[in-house]
Structure formats: C-alpha cells, structure tokens
Chains A and B, each alone.
Chain A
C-alpha cells in the first residue's frame, strides 16, 4: 500500500530522477521526504517554492530529469519562473507536482492549480488515486521530454494521502547523454528571445492538443444508463464511479489541453453531459466555448470535494427524480468543536500569552505556521495573516498607513524561522530600508513545525538529516540593517524577560528584532523535564494558567462565587502529567504558587532545576 505522495516519489525514482527540490506544505510534504529514502538522486529542501522550481529548471536545462513539489499556494510563489520557463522549455524531463488542498484542511485559500496550466501553456495531468499517481508521474516525465516542456502533475489532498495498492517496477538509469547546450537564443529570455519562442510555444500547444486526443490517459468507459454522461478528472472520477456505476464516463488523465474531439464524440452518445471537476468551473467553461453543451457548476458546488453524498442528490435533482433524504442518527454539530491547538509545552505559548496581555497596545501582523494558531482562543493575539512572509511587509504598511485612531498602537510582526527564510528576509530588509517602526518577533523553533518538523538552512541539517551550513540569524539580521542593540535573543519560557523586552522595544520608534530560541516539542532537540502538578489546597481557581493555552492544563472543577456583589467564575485546575513537558510556563502565571514540579528521582531532575 502506498499513499499518492509515496507513489509519486517511487515513480519519479523509477523514471531516472536526478534531482528534486521542494518546500514543505500540506498535503505535498511527504513527496520530498519519501524521495530522500531512494538512492542515486539528490533531494533537497528549498527555502521557498520559486527557489525549488528554479533549481529543478536548472537541472532539467542541464539535461537531467528533475522534480519540484509544492502545495497550491506555493505555485503563486513559483509563478515567475513558471511563466517564463514555459517559453524556453526544458531538455531533461521536469515535473512540477502540485498538491491542491481541496477542502481547505490547512491552507489560507483553496485554489485550482489547473488554471496555471492554462495560464502558462503547460500540460496538466490529474491522477485519481495512488496507482494512477504512480503511472502518470512516469507518463509526465516522458511527455515532458517529448515536448520539451514542464508538465504539471496536479494532485489533491485525496490523492496525496489516500493509501491504496500500487504495483511498482524498476528504476531506469538517469539521463547520461546530452547535457547543457550553449544556446542563448533559447535560454536567455531577453525580449527578442521570448518573442521568438512565443510561436514555438503556440506550436507546442497545438501538438499537445493532438497528443491529448490520442492519449491513453483520456479514456471513455461505456455505461448502460445513458441519461447522464460524465466528463471528469482526478478524484472526481472515483466519486462518479462510486455514485453512478452504470453511467458512461469520460475520464481525463491528461486534462489540459482538453481533447475536445473525444469529448464531442462522447457527448453524442449520452442524453446529457455533466462535468464533474474539483474545484473551479474550468473545463465546463472551455467546453461551452467549444459549443459542447454541458452542465456542471450550476448543479454542483465550486469548492470542497465532490463526494458521493454531494453528487447523488445533485444528479437526482437534475433529472427531476426524488432526492433521497437521510435521517441523522445524531446531529454531530451538537458536539463541541475540537480545533487544532498548539502542542503541550510549545515554545510559542509564552509568546502568545505575553502578546495577549499587551493586546490593547498593539496591532499584531501574523504569518503562516503553527503560530498562526495564536489567532485562536484563548490568545486571540493576531490581527492579520495573509501569506508566507506578509507579516513583515504588512507591518510596514500598518505602520505607515495608520490613522489617528491607531496613533498610540505599536506594530508587532510575528514570523517563524522557516517562514523568515522563505519570504521574510526581503520583508525585513524592506522594513528597515523604509524606516519602519515595528517590533519583529522571530519565533525560532529550529524546524518547520507546522508540517511535522522538516529542516531548513537555520537548523544545520539537510533533507537527509546530515550536517549542513547553519545560518546565523543574528548576523543575518544585522546585515539587513537592524542595529545590533535592537536585536535580542530570548528564551520564550522566561515570560517576565520576554514581556519587558517586548515593552521596551515597542516604545522605541525603529525596527527591533526579538528572536525566541526554544525548539519545537516534536523535534529531537527538544528536552522534556519532570512534569508539574497542582497543589489542590493552594489553587484559588483564578484560571490564569489556562490562559497560556497549554492543552495539558485541565479544569478539575468549576464554581461560581459572589465577590463584591458580582458573580465570579472559578476554575480549579489539574495538570495532565502524562502530557506535561515540564516547561514551567504555567508556574509564571500562578499568583499563589500552586504549581509545583514533581520530582521523581530521574537524571533529568538536576537539569530540570537548572531549567525551571
């Protein structure tokens, strides 16, 4: 059994892949992680998606097969090289694997990567499950070399993370003939070159159209119930097969350029044509423009997955049949929500607790990573989050564009270490250069926490976990123009120090940077200490410690008491000792000193004392 991501990695290896470059992002992360398991290829974490694609382009221009992997929002970052290299093309096969987060499990938007194929005049393939992801990855490399173009392999969450049986083969040797050819008329994209390449791109697209018409990846499956015929791609196909086992289906594997002749012929064999596509109304619009009558988004949703429970009633309604209604055994919306939280002992807890205490005095510009969760209860300590790196750039705008109402507020930007390297460096440079007034918090947890702990140039390790040169954040920040006396490194578990430094720096009208330096609890470098416990008699039920948001602090009992004529809610707490990492953060929030370290005679107790 393999997931779609594992299948892509396996197939790429079998296809003679020489180099892969990626930036982690759910649901694409495992592709590169998996590739590090295979010998005879070079897998690397890039600092961002533009860099990843450009590295892959370099390898493909040199004649080797290469792959770049990212999630949908990453393509926006990589759009610059994508749009341009489409003109020059490649020599070795280059497959750009993009994982669309359909249904938005962990992204700031749901975008349809198929548009990039149209926009950049690049073919798009859409596998439906792991076996197809495997086969199409191989087909994508062949197509890429045949037409000397980048090929987009568009996956969705359901392909990336679904596990099914996959039949595998052998590795073909990497390209060894050819190599880089000196050809500035192709590789140097000055206006004259680009102009000369435009007609070639148009010709290529025409040839790809013909290829699509005859491609074995675009198949008609006959069906006995001809009332509705479906045109579909990716996991939409599986949902159609599941919902309407007897309906005729045209499945598009090579979905761009679309094989209009096949579709037209197919349309002639069925009473009505329905396009089932995730997520946007893209193919449907193309078909209508071609004069092929069809429907799709008039009866189906334009976001989220098109599961059988959506397709079956929609088609029933379309055919004027009674719509099946389902009686719920229990209304699950009655059960409390369980939103994601930061981990027990997370080094970001102290930062957000501190920020929440300063709430009225600051506008907080946030970024993408675990610390985006700081926007949620109980911290509610983020005002904006847009995309990778935007915390620093927007902070400058929030500062310079402020109206009288916000005159007294300080601007604080919060960014993680990996995000800082991804897109933050330019933002900080811009902030300093334009004389902004903001306090920047770089939460260095020494990994990419959100996606499960990948490495980057700040961790001193590469994608294989081998030692790599390690960036010195302080020197880097100094080099960007921040004054040395405005740069601080702080242990985020020491909240009083953090609070004071933050207050002081907020008062100074220039750029300051505070780096917090404790590791994510999920990585090897994180050290657990003896857990804490609450002395029941000493706890006054003030509930202060709960405001750290640490999931290990649980309420033992609630009480309402009358105090000064007002009702006051008390929450007496316990600490889940199996989860507690012994970070000691909560002790700093407890006035009556009711939280004490448990001291089992372990070797960590001495270190624990030194720490707490």
Chain B
C-alpha cells in the first residue's frame, strides 16, 4: 500500500460549527474525484458543546477510518484552541488552516481553566506550516455567522489533491437544493475563504 496515495484530512472544532457538514462536502468531492472514501466522527456529546473531530481519508483503498496521530496531511481547525489541541495529529510536512475565532467554554468562563494566551504562536512554535483564517470575521461581513464552514472549505480547497472548484460545486449543490440564494451566498463565502488562504499563505 503506497502511503502517499492516501490523503488524510482532519477537521476539528466544536459542536454546532458545521464541522460534520464540511467534512461531508469534502467527502463528496473526493468521491467525485474517483477515490475510495472513509469518514468518521468523534463527537463526544458534540451537541452539548464538546469537541468534534471528523476524520476524512481518501485514496485508492481505505481500511481504518481513523487518522493515526501524526498522519494527517491537512488540519482544518474551526476554532483557535482546537487547532492547537489537534496540531500534533499533523505530519511534519502537513499544513494547518486555522480559524482564528475563539469559543470560550464554561470551564474557562468560570475560571477553572484558562484559554491559551496565543495559540497561533504555539502552533507556529511547533514547526508546522499554518495559515490563519479569520473565518468568523469573513462570515460576519457576509452577513451570516453560519457561513464559517463554507469559508473554511474555501480555505482548504487549494490544499487537496483535486480541483478546488469540485469542492465548490458540491457545496453549492448542497445549499442550492434548499434555496438558490443560499447557494450563491455559500459560494461567496467559499471564494472569500480561498482568497484569505491564498493571502495568508503568501504572508507566511
């Protein structure tokens, strides 16, 4: 089994951020590109604000659905501290796309734990390639905080072994099915994410 033929994408975030939807859209794009695909989520009571990760693996033939630590090619983090939490799942040659939005849980609010001071610096210090994305800000500018996952999809699309536009197609198809306007809006978010990633990659 040629290892390089398999692509491992780890998506992480918090319940309700659309991590699983994003993962499904990437899976569809991978299927369209002719890959065998497996996808598994580890959602420890995600509905209740817990951590959500989705493991997406594709290639000629996939056995185990879970990405072993240190084997992810791409980390797509929907929240800043979650990006730091999962950074060690990346290969040394991997790339992390990290939403700079912070989501503070009650254990931090009530003073039991503290939120890392500068997670971006910690991620950088780990030596991995990282592109920060202000997906929360971009989504708000487009008028809907729920667009975060489409922004993140745009950001990651360039880091995958198939055409970014095929991800966009799957995204638009999914949302247009509900309402055509939603398709347009999500496509905008996708393009904004793509541009942000390109700009971020240049800066880094």
Contact residues of A with B, CB < 8 Å? 1, 105-106, 129, 158, 161-165, 235, 238-239, 241-243, 245, 305, 307-309, 326, 328-332, 334-343, 370, 373, 377-378, 452, 522, 543, 546-547, 549-551, 553-555, 558, 569, 571, 573, 578
Contacts and interface: CB of A to CB of B under 8 A. Distances in A.
Given A161-B40, A332-B84, A554-B109, 9 more contacts: A164-B62, A235-B64, A239-B64, A328-B88, A330-B126, A334-B116, A336-B108, A336-B115, A340-B49
A164 B39 CA distance: 6
A244 B55 CA distance: 21
Given A242-B63, A522-B47, A336 B113 contact: yes
Contact of B88 (A305, A332, A339, A569): A332
B198 to A, nearest CB: 25
Interface string B68-102: 11100000000001101111101010000000000
Interface stretch (B30-38, B152-160, B175-183, B189-197): B30-38
Nearest to B112: A377
B48 A569 contact: no
A554 B127 contact: no
A341 B49 contact: yes
A341 B66 contact: no
Nearest to B96: A329
Nearest to A549: B106
Interface residues of B, number: 59
Given A330-B122, A330-B126, A158 B111 contact: no
B89 to A, nearest CB: 8
Contacts of B62: 164
Given A238-B64, A238-B65, A162 B105 contact: no
B111 A341 contact: no
Contact of B111 (A307, A452, A558): A558
B158 to A, nearest CB: 22
A164 B37 contact: yes
A106 B50 CA distance: 12
A165 B104 contact: no
Nearest to A576: B104
B49 A343 contact: yes
A129 B43 CA distance: 18
B110 interface: yes
Contacts of A336: 81, 105, 107-108, 113-116
Contacts of A452: 47
Identify the 4 closest CB pairs spanning chains A and B, nearest first.
Answer: A340-B48, A336-B113, A340-B45, A242-B64
B142 interface: no
Given A164-B62, A326-B69, A569-B111, A335 B88 contact: no
Given A1-B37, A549-B106, A338 B51 contact: yes
Contact of A163 (B39, B45, B63): B39
Given A162-B38, A307-B68, A341-B49, A377 B88 contact: no
B107 A339 contact: yes
Contacts of B50: 338-341
B27 interface: yes
Contacts of B125: 330
A546 B44 CA distance: 24
A281 B122 CA distance: 42
Contacts of A334: 116
Contacts of A342: 48
A70 B134 CA distance: 42
A546 B39 CA distance: 37
B123 interface: yes
Contact of B128 (A1, A329, A549): A329
Contacts of A165: 31, 36-37
B42 interface: yes
B22 interface: no
Of the listed residues B65, B69, B125, the one surrounded by the most CB atoms of chain A closer than 10 A to its CB is B65
Interface of B: 1, 14, 24, 27-28, 31, 36-51, 62-66, 68-70, 81-82, 84-88, 90, 92, 104-116, 122-123, 125-128, 145
Contacts of B126: 329-330
A377 B37 contact: no
Given A129-B65, A164-B38, A106 B111 contact: no
24 contacts: A1-B27, A1-B28, A1-B31, A106-B44, A129-B38, A162-B38, A163-B24, A238-B63, A241-B63, A245-B1, A330-B125, A335-B81, A335-B116, A336-B108, A338-B50, A338-B51, A338-B105, A339-B105, A340-B46, A370-B48, A377-B110, A546-B110, A551-B49, A571-B110
Of the listed residues B38, B46, B125, the one surrounded by the most CB atoms of chain A closer than 10 A to its CB is B38
B109 A105 contact: no
Contacts of B113: 336-337
Of the listed residues A162, A243, A546, the one surrounded by the most CB atoms of chain B closer than 10 A to its CB is A162
A309 B104 CA distance: 31
A341 B1 CA distance: 42
A308 to B, nearest CB: 5
A161 B106 CA distance: 28
A373 B106 CA distance: 13
A548 to B, nearest CB: 10
A331 B107 contact: no
B22 to A, nearest CB: 14
Nearest to B61: A241
A7 to B, nearest CB: 13
Contacts of B43: 105, 161
B86 A332 contact: yes
Of the listed residues A161, A307, A331, A335, the one surrounded by the most CB atoms of chain B closer than 10 A to its CB is A335
B107 A343 contact: no
Contacts of B104: 554-555
B49 A338 contact: yes
Of the listed residues B27, B50, B90, B145, the one surrounded by the most CB atoms of chain A closer than 10 A to its CB is B50
Contacts of A326: 69-70
Contacts of B37: 1, 163-165
Nearest to A451: B47
A340 B109 contact: no
B65 A162 contact: yes
Given A1-B39, A239-B64, A340-B48, A332 B111 contact: no
A339 B43 CA distance: 11
A403 to B, nearest CB: 33
Contact of A338 (B68, B107, B110): B107
A337 to B, nearest CB: 7
A307 to B, nearest CB: 6
A330 B40 contact: no
Contact of B64 (A308, A543, A569, A571): A308
Contacts of B86: 332
A341 B112 CA distance: 14
